């Protein structure tokens, strides 16, 4: 891992064999390593701060966790998996899948576990990185595969520390705490909270859900694959490919392409389906109205659940809509003065979505700090490149398509795009490549304009919005994203 064992930039470019530093061994870091190997670019290191790969799926182990993208779509295109147990398989299976794919592709043995990159600096045409343990490495390209929803957002609730029971964030589940027969409070009504509530309600003595904002819930079915179906997938992988194509097309046409046009009639269809789900599923009119959002479906990230409304109507479940005043030793006190006594408090309160690869310090050309460039909030050209940071690329970086569809698909497209940029260096056309300032500014202005007409900008609060209330996600169709990713507009890149 010392720089001395690696070629200098001049040597590397003379041999056209760049060295890559991949940061993070989650879904997109594993993908990067596999694709680099496939391209014959074997000079790379993967740094992972944890002692296990898997990213999101390593960190989120709460009861009921699954991915609401169908499993045959939420898989790498090159690694179909006949063994998925359900249409939406549980998180532990997804984690096992990534571990298996990484092992089978010889990636696991190349991961440097327990190595947190704390600084990346572009010096003399190379990226020098520093790790928390004081060690260093250098390479020609950095691939930041550091995830999106990574740093838990803890609510600023007065008195949280005084709670006598166990309190933990949904992404830091404390498996030492049994919920059986306990009074359990859950704060939040996002995708995590909804899955937790549905999974634990029958185990706990009492479940209290603290809702600040109600959510629209799209009903889904989650059938198990039978042994016969799995045998069919094993024998005929093309059957899995067919499911993947079908689901992908349905997601793109019926969802991803639609969200970016707030006027789309299909959004009304989704809204009506959610409204019918609420009206038909929740019997008590008072509870039903408490659960009814006052904004349009899909403005916030849509919740997909087959059992949340059943769960919240269980006799031992209680929905609290009164705002939280503070946390006390024995529970949560709401503004109406009522104390909700609890043994366990789960904070399903989301993530700090403006972090991306930070707190890692990134210093680009001429000492420019990413923290300064991003002081108003993170942004990136095509979600992969930032001006002033050549040969530094992100997977699932800011302004990319996030939503209820496969981030694996997104990362695969992005990595193929990045490889085309790398090719410019390999071919000798340049030694450094990164988006030009003019192209980045043009892109960002267009993105901001387009963001205003998306469903996310129709009057709700969500993690899709930046500090100024503007949606940050890719504001155009998924088809446009695919098209942009198919071939970089090299004129937008500065090559030196």
Confirm if 30 and 98 have CB atoms less than 8 A apart: yes
CB of residue 347 vs ligand NAP: minimum separation in angstroms? 8
Distance CA 162, CA 328 (A): 6
Confirm if 413 and 35 have CB atoms less than 8 A apart: no
**67 sits near ligand NAP (criterion: CB under 6 A):** yes
Stretch that binds ligand NAP, among 176-184, 345-353, 409-417, 442-450 (CB under 6 A): 345-353
Q: 3-class DSSP state for residue 433?
A: strand
Q: Which of these, 193, 199, 229, lies nearest to 87 by C-alpha position?
A: 229
| Closest CB to ligand NAP among residues 74, 374 | 74
Check residue 387 and report its DSSP letter.
T
**256 sits near ligand NAP (criterion: CB under 6 A):** no
**189 sits near ligand NAP (criterion: CB under 6 A):** yes
Strand partners, 138: 128
**455 sits near ligand NAP (criterion: CB under 6 A):** no
| Closest CB to ligand NAP among residues 95, 170 | 170
Q: Which of 146, 191, 406, 414 binds ligand NAP (CB under 6 A)?
A: 191
| Closest CB to ligand NAP among residues 29, 214 | 214
Q: Which of 301, 333, 340, 355 binds ligand NAP (CB under 6 A)?
A: 301
CB of residue 60 vs ligand NAP: minimum separation in angstroms? 7
**63 sits near ligand NAP (criterion: CB under 6 A):** no
List the 126-131 sheet strands across, edge first.
Answer: 136-139, 126-131, 117-123, 361-363
Distance CA 420, CA 320 (A): 52
Contacting ligand NAP within 207-226 (CB under 6 A): 212-213
Stretch that binds ligand NAP, among 63-71, 93-101, 173-181, 309-317 (CB under 6 A): 63-71
Confirm if 300 and 215 have CB atoms less than 8 A apart: yes
Distance CA 257, CA 480 (A): 9
**463 sits near ligand NAP (criterion: CB under 6 A):** yes
**159 sits near ligand NAP (criterion: CB under 6 A):** no
Q: Quick one: CA torsion of 490, 492, 493, 496, rounded to 10 degrees?
A: 100
CB of residue 187 vs ligand NAP: minimum separation in angstroms? 5
Distance CA 494, CA 346 (A): 48
**187 sits near ligand NAP (criterion: CB under 6 A):** yes
- Residues engaged in binding ligand NAP (CB under 6 A): 66-68, 149, 155, 170, 187-193, 195, 212-213, 301, 324, 348-351, 461, 463
């Amino acid at each position: 891992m010392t720089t001395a064992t690696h070629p200098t930039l001049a040597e590397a470019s003379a041999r056209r064999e760049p060295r890559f530093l991949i940061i993070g061994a989650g879904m997109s870091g594993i993908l990067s390593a596999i694709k680099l190997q496939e391209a014959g670019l074997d000079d790379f290191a993967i740094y992972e701060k944890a002692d296990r790969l898997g990213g999101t799926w390593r960190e989120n182990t709460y009861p009921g966790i699954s991915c609401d993208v169908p499993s045959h779509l939420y898989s790498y295109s090159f690694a179909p998996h006949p063994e998925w147990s359900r249409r939406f398989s549980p998180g532990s299976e997804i984690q096992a899948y990534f571990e298996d794919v990484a092992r089978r592709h010889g990636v696991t043995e190349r991961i440097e576990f327990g190595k947190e990159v704390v600084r990346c600096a572009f010096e003399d045409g190379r990226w020098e990185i520093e790790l928390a343990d004081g060690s260093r490495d250098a390479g020609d390209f950095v691939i930041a595969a550091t995830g999106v929803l990574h740093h838990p957002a803890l609510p600023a609730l007065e008195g949280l520390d005084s709670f006598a029971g166990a309190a933990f964030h949904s992404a830091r589940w404390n498996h030492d705490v049994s919920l059986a027969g306990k009074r359990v409070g859950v704060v939040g009504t996002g995708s995590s909270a909804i899955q937790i509530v549905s999974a634990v309600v029958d185990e706990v003595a009492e479940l209290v859900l603290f809702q600040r904002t109600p959510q629209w819930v799209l009903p889904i079915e989650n059938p198990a694959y039978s042994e016969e179906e799995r045998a069919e997938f094993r024998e005929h992988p093309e059957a899995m490919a067919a499911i993947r194509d079908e689901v992908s097309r349905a997601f793109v046409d019926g969802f991803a392409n639609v969200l970016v046009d707030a006027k789309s009639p299909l959004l009304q269809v989704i809204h009506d389906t959610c409204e019918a789900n609420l009206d038909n599923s929740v019997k008590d009119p008072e509870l039903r109205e408490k659960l009814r959002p006052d904004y349009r479906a899909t403005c916030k990230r849509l919740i997909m659940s087959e059992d949340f409304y059943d769960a919240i109507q269980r006799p031992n479940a209680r929905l609290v809509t009164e705002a939280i005043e503070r946390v006390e030793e024995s529970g949560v006190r709401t503004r109406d003065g009522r104390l909700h006594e609890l043994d366990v408090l789960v904070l399903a309160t989301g993530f700090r979505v403006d972090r991306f690869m930070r707190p890692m310090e990134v210093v680009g050309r001429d000492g420019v700090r990413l923290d300064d460039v991003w002081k108003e909030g993170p942004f990136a050209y095509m979600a992969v490149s930032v001006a002033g940071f050549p040969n530094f690329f992100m997977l699932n970086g800011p302004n990319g398509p996030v939503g209820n569809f496969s981030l694996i698909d997104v990362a695969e497209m992005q990595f193929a795009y990045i490889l085309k940029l790398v090719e410019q260096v390999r071919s000798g056309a340049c030694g450094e490549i990164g988006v030009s300032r003019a192209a980045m500014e043009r892109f960002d202005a267009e993105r901001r304009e387009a963001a205003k007409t998306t469903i996310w900008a129709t009057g709700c609060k969500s993690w899709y919005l930046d500090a100024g209330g503007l949606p940050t996600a890719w504001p155009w169709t998924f088809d446009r994203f695919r098209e942009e990713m198919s071939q970089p507009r090299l004129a937008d890149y500065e090559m030196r």
